[in-house]
Structure 1
Amino acid sequence: MHIQPYLFFNGRCEEALAFYQGALGAELTQLMRMKESPEPPPPGMMPPGSEDKIMHASLRIGDTTLMASDGNCQGQASFQGFSLSLTPADPAEAGRLFTALGDGGKVQMPLARTFFSPCFGMVEDRFGVSWMIYVAD
């Protein structure tokens, strides 16, 4: 059994996918737009003009699959109560990932040595997703 995060970007999924491809080297493995659904959505579920929005996408980041969607395309995406954790091999790679994810976001805890890691930090990306960057000791 695997736990796979599924993030809903409320209309900004395509932008998020491109960002993660550049920042993390993520590989897009699947993408389906609303208009490509084999079944139409129930009446009133999707706002008019959302046919090109993302119904489902899968990204491969290292050995992990991250799934994403535009969801119902209404309102701001809200990511609270969790962080995604990345474990790069060394502090140099941690710094690169931290900087890339922080572009347009905000640092929650700068990268630094801690009692449990030679390099650990937390950053919220431009979409409001919280990331922990952790190099194993």
Structure 2
Amino acid sequence: MASVNVYLTFNGNCKQAFDFYKSVFGGEYPYIGTFGEMPPTEGKELPEEDKDKIMHVSLPISKETILIGSDTTCEWVPHYKQGNNFSISINAESKEEANKLFNGLAVGGQVTMPMADTFWGAYFGMFTDQFGINWMVNYDDPAKMQQHP
């Protein structure tokens, strides 16, 4: 069965927010990475001011729950709205389950990133459902995850 977590989006202060959450919940970041650390996108140069922004951070806050987040950059900044800056993140147990959940929940909605293999080793997609709720679906293939630290 899939696990469900909240994915928070920030406008440049993700690290500050997650350091605050970490001070309250405790624990450590299993991963924290910046946009400047990701591979270049063909035809797109990342603005210098976005390179130190957080691309992905996760903080386990219980045995079952992980708080996940990132900053917004480039063309996504105008769409950022404080108070509506979160998505529901589903971590599926198989690629088939990821496709089933993505295709089922996206009916009548708007796909913003189709399900696809990513540079970080996951099978991932995003959409806004027909009710305006933002979703992320992820499957971490164990074979691919061993290749990407």
TM-score by length of 1: 0.49
Q: In proportion to residue count, which structure has more helix?
A: 2
TM-score by length of 2: 0.46
Larger Rg: 1
